[in-house]
Amino acid sequence: MAIMMTPNPPLGVVFHWLGGLAAGSFYVPFRKVKHWAWETLWLAGGIFSWIIAPLLFAVLLTHGLAAAVRETPGNTLFWVYFFGVLWGFGGLTFGLTMRYLGMSLGMAVVMGLCAAFGTLIPPAFKGEFASRVLGTHSGLVILLGIGVCLVGITFAGIAGMSKEKEMSARQKTEAIREFNFKRGLMVAIFSGVMSACFSFGLDAGDPISKLAIAHGTAALWQGLPKLVVILWGGFTTNFLWCVALNIRNRTGYQYFTAQVRGDSPDRSAERAPLLRNYLLCALAGTAWYMQFFFYTMGEAQMGSYKFSSWTLQMASIIIFSSLWGIALHEWRGVSRRTRTLLAVSLALLVTSTVIVGYGNYLVAR
């Protein structure tokens, strides 16, 4: 029996803020992992992000998960999975972006491109952009909010570039150990475009959500089953790449022993804290998944303009990742001008979430 729900856009905005907090915070535990190569910690955390957490929450909170997936047309499953595979390339290079640019600048570039592509392409592809967005008052308000978001992201990027010019080489490496602006920017652009494929996968997975509701799943949790399928695709890409790096760099032993060998990136260490590393990766991976857990809850509250959820989520991610960047001293030593640019960016991003939420409220009331 289907369980219906009246849209509540203000609550949806709150859910997207929670998703942004989770996404903006997930990389922090990874920074505490000791004596593991990047591919080892990324895959260890990813097992929780892409497999354990999605299945656990879907099993606990939905009804007929297996039946909903089984009854979904094969063509639909393929595209949802395929977009997950493509998104996996964005996820892989997203981790590299954090290594080269840090949380503040890296998030701004990736999320800016991701917001633009992921928000506007689905309604345009369906032929609904002119009629449902440009042709309605609420749609124009939502479009204004998206525009404000992109301006805020632009200010975040300008602030990041200004920071890069002002900080000494020593300050950059103290805050971000592997800082490399040119390499990081190239990786971030690729990551942002490919990461938008997650939005396409969510859109393609709507039939799975409808089947889940038909099997008795509450509307609030309707998006959890399609997350399972999308993240299978993401797991495929990340698993193959990380295992390939483990083989090439001879770091696969790190999963099983605390001993640090001579080919480790950290030759001075004697033993890796194996249990602690796994717990930190589990925390990071679960926090990463929670961004989409809250995303599906927020999307369910946004009504007929749910495509705007992607902008809300991206803006929230940049807000909280920027705050983490401040807390982790990535902006230490910059000028007042740069700090002002960052403050303007955060103010615009918060304003954009309010505008988009109001636009959805006009539809729901």
Q: What is the largest CA-CA distance in the chain?
A: 65
User: Residue 138 has what pLDDT?
Assistant: 75
CA distance 120 to 40: 35
Domain boundaries, the chain: 9-364
pLDDT of residue 67: 93
Do 301 and 8 contact (CB within 8 A), yes or no? yes
- Residue 335, pLDDT > 70, answer yes
Locate 156 and state its tokens. Answer: 């975040």
Q: Which of 195-204, 281-290, 291-300 is the most confident on average?
A: 281-290
Top pLDDT among 9 and 83 is at: 83
Conformation bin of residue 49: beta by default, left when phi > 0, alpha when psi is -120 to 50:
alpha
Considering only residues 354 and 116, tell me which one the structure prediction assigns the higher pLDDT: 354
How would residue 253 be classed by pLDDT, with cut points 50, 70 and 90? very high
| Average pLDDT of the residues in 9-24 | 84
Q: What is the b/e burial string over 79-111, where b = at least 16 CB atoms within 10 angstroms of the residue's CB?
A: bbbbbbbbbbbbbbbbbbbbbbbbbbbbbbbbb
| Measured distance CA(268)–CA(270) in Å, rounded | 7
C-alpha angle 282-179-158 in degrees, rounded to nearest 5 = 105
Most confident of 28-37, 48-57, 96-105, 107-116: 48-57
Specify the 3-state DSSP secondary structure of 271: strand
d(CA 315, CA 299): 15
* Whether the Cβ atoms of residue 55 and residue 263 lie closer than 8 Å to each other: no
* Residue 214 predicted with pLDDT over 80: yes
Residue 265 predicted with pLDDT over 60: no
The string over 12-29, giving b where at least 16 C-beta atoms fall within 10 Å of a residue's C-beta and e elsewhere, is bbbbbbbbbbbbbbbbbb
Q: What are phi and psi of 265, to 5 degrees?
A: -60, -25
Q: Where are the beta strands (DSSP E) in the chain?
A: none
Is the Cβ–Cβ distance between 181 and 101 less than 8 Å?
Answer: yes
pLDDT above 90: residue 284: yes
| Residue 1 confidence class, pLDDT cut points 50, 70, 90 | very low
Task: Give the CA count within 13 Å in the CB-facing half-sphere of 281.
Answer: 24
Round to whole Å and give the CA distance between 168 and 211.
56
Neighbours of 260 (CB within 10 A): 20
**Residue 281: Cβ-neighbour burial (10 angstroms; 0-12, 13-18, 19+):** buried
The helix or strand, by DSSP H or E, that contains position 287, with its residue range, turns out to be: helix 274-301
Q: Which residue has the tokens 């083989």?
A: 247
Which residues is 218 bridged to in the sheet? Answer: 3
Overall pTM surpassing 0.75 (yes/no)? no
Name the average pLDDT for the chain: 81
Copy the structure tokens of residue 95: 């981790």
Burial of residue 47, with CB atoms counted within 10 A of its CB: 0-12 exposed, 13-18 middle, 19 or more buried: middle
Give the number of other Cβ atoms within 10 Å of residue 189's Cβ: 16
> What confidence tens digit (pLDDT) does each residue in 50-93 have?
999 999 999 999 999 999 999 999 999 999 999 999 999 887 78
3-class SS of residue 135:
coil
Residue 2, pLDDT score: 47
Of 190, 228, 194, 191, residue with least CA distance to 209? 228
At 167 the pLDDT is: 66
Chain centroid to CA 364: how far?
27
